[in-house]
Amino acid sequence: MAMADLSYITASLTGASVSIAGKPVLKNVSLTVNKSGIVVVIGPNGAGKSSLLSAMAGLLPLETGTRQLTEANGKDAAITRVGYVLQKPVLFRRSIAGNIDYAMDAAGVDPALWADRRRQVLQVMNISQDESRSAFHLSQGERQRLAVARVLAMSPGILMLDEASNSLDKTTVSLLESHVRNLADQGMPVIWVTHSLEQAKRIADRVISIEDGEIVKDCAVGDFF
């Protein structure tokens, strides 16, 4: 999929703290992702990995600190420029095509490009089902792949994947990893939350380790493992 012509965005948090239901989940976190490459966020369950991603994308309000999503030209980026795959992605009760078209519509993609782009992302994510079929009938793995395909169709400026390969089989995980690697090599900044050290080793350029809502390590993959 040709995405090299697109501009990418910078996501950053400065001194960010977040609480959910009174419980602090992020404590004074500062982080900038502005380069191509894959940043992997790892940490134990409940450490704040998903909260970090949500805070960067703007899904969680900050108690303190600031968040910025910035286009290459310095302007603020819209949330639709963030290609975010939720841990439990919600597929709409529509066809496969309907789900992808909804995302492209939200991202302001020219409708003349929809059919081609739909075919591309479905091929990339190895979804061979008839696109007029309801998304409801897809297997768990296919649903996850469709969720990724949907954000890819939006031509995001940054990719944020929250345990995106959890429900996928090995073959599809490899496909997803290799596709994300291609995107990263083309210049796309990627933040990938995973609990798997193996996966982090395979895909990361930079590793951020988070514990109890605090970043305890932020380094190149070679320095981490």
Partner 1 sequence: MDLIDFFNLAIHAIISGQHDLFEVVNLSLFVSFSAVVIASLIGIPLGGFLATNRFKGRSFVIVLVNALMGLPPVVVGLMIYLLLSRSGPLGVFGLLYTPTAMIIAQAVLITPIITALTRQTVEHLSRDYDQQLQLFGVSPIKRTLTLIVDGRFELVTAVLAGLGRAMAEVGAVMIVGGNIDHFTRVMTTTITLETSRGNLALALALGMILIIMTIMINAAMAGLRWWGERRYGHG
Interface residue list for partner 1 (CB under 8 A): 54, 57-59, 78-80, 82, 84, 86, 89-94, 102-103, 106-107, 134-136
Contacts of 150 (CB under 8 A, 6+ apart): 89, 99, 100, 102, 103, 121
Exposed e or buried b per residue across 66-97, where buried means at least 16 C-beta atoms within 10 angstroms of its C-beta: ebebbeeeeeebeebbbbbbbbebebeeebbb
Separation CA 20–CA 29 (nearest Å):
15
* Identity of the residue, 43 or 89, whose beta carbon is nearer to partner 1 in the bound complex: 89
Tokens of 49: 């990995």
- Measured from the CB of residue 93, what is the shortest distance to partner 1 in angstroms? 4
- For partner 1, the closer CB: 81 or 206: 81
Closer residue to partner 1 (CB): 160 or 207: 160
Q: What torsion, rounded to 10 degrees, do the Cα atoms 194, 198, 203, 205 define? A: 90
Cβ-based nearer residue to partner 1, 3 or 78: 78
Q: Which two tokens stand for residue 36?
A: 């191509």
Nearer to partner 1, 80 or 182 (CB): 80
Pairing of strands 23-33, 189-193: unpaired
Q: Min. distance of Cβ 99 from partner 1 in angstroms?
A: 10
Tokens 């841990």: give the residue. 87
Q: In this complex, which beta carbon is closest to partner 1, that of residue 77 or of residue 200?
A: 77
- Choice between 100 and 125, CB closer to partner 1: 100
């309801």: which residue's tokens? 134
Work out whether strand 189-193 and strand 158-162 pair parallel, antiparallel, or are unpaired.
Answer: parallel
Minimum CB–partner distance for residue 104 and partner 1 (Å): 10
> In whole angstroms, how close is the CB of 135 to partner 1 at the nearest point?
7
CB of 51 to partner 1, least distance (A): 12
E-strand stretches of the chain: 10-20, 23-33, 37-42, 64-70, 82-85, 158-162, 189-193, 206-211, 214-220
Closest approach of partner 1 to the CB of residue 89, in Å: 7
Smallest gap from residue 209 Cβ to partner 1 (A): 25
